[in-house]
Amino acid sequence: MTFKADTDGATLGAAITTTAKHFRAVTGTNANGGLFPLWTTAQADLPFDIRVGPAPGWTGERMTVRDIQGPPGNFLSGDDTDFDATAGNWTGAGNAAVAQVASPAHSGAGALRIRSLAAGDMTCASCTAANILTQGMACSPGDVILCSVWFETAAPARTCNIGAGFYTNAGVSVSTLMSSASILDSASAYTKISGTVVGSRSCR
């Protein structure tokens, strides 16, 4: 009996039933900071068996994987992702002002500058709270929200984190959840951070 070694450490994106034929697996990050690598991209590897259950002991259910689909594409698009011409819909969301700048850019022609208004933590968001129902990402309770950002500092290094703010269908704030991942950014190069939070309703 052979099990796929690459699947070790993956977690379910949401609870599944004993009759489920499809499920979402969150595989984490790879050594170079890439987000959620696929178990395999080779059709010849399929099908293969996995065992889903708690460790140690490997009790649980044996499953046969017959198809793999990649993680969802980026919800954001255009200047909201590359900041080549504008800051897009991004906004300060706590002790911060944002602006598009040409340098230092990770790739392309621009970047988003986040500047604190006073001492303490600063936060920005992909849209204003007022526009969450039209510019936020719709999600359901239990959905795994995949977050990924590149950071570079123009000042002494700071601890950076990522997450999402959640709202009801009426646009009322419910909570802001931060990923367990964090990095210390650098003034000499961009550093990537990737992580997940579990969703409810719309988020930004």
In this structure, the number of other CB atoms found within 10 A of the CB of residue 73 comes to: 7
Apex CA 31: angle with CA 29 and CA 35, to 5°? 30
Residue 161: strand, helix, or coil? strand
For residue 54, the model assigns a pLDDT of: 65
**Edge-to-edge strand list for the sheet holding 173-184:** 173-184, 159-167, 202-203
Reading phi first (left if > 0) and then psi (alpha if -120 to 50, else beta), residue 196 is in beta
The answer to whether residue 48 scores a pLDDT higher than 90 is: no
* Residue 182 backbone phi and psi in degrees, to 5: -150, 160
Q: Residue 145 in contact with residue 197, Cβ under 8 Å?
A: yes
Average pLDDT over residues 181-188: 91
| Structure-block tokens of residue 160 | 């950076």
* Residue 134 backbone phi and psi in degrees, to 5: -110, -25
The more confident residue out of 118 and 67 is 118
Q: Give per-residue pLDDT as tens, 110-148.
A: 999 999 999 999 999 999 999 999 999 988 887 778 888
Average pLDDT over residues 174-185: 91
Domains and CATH numbers, the chain: 1-71 (no CATH), 79-203 (2.60.120.260)
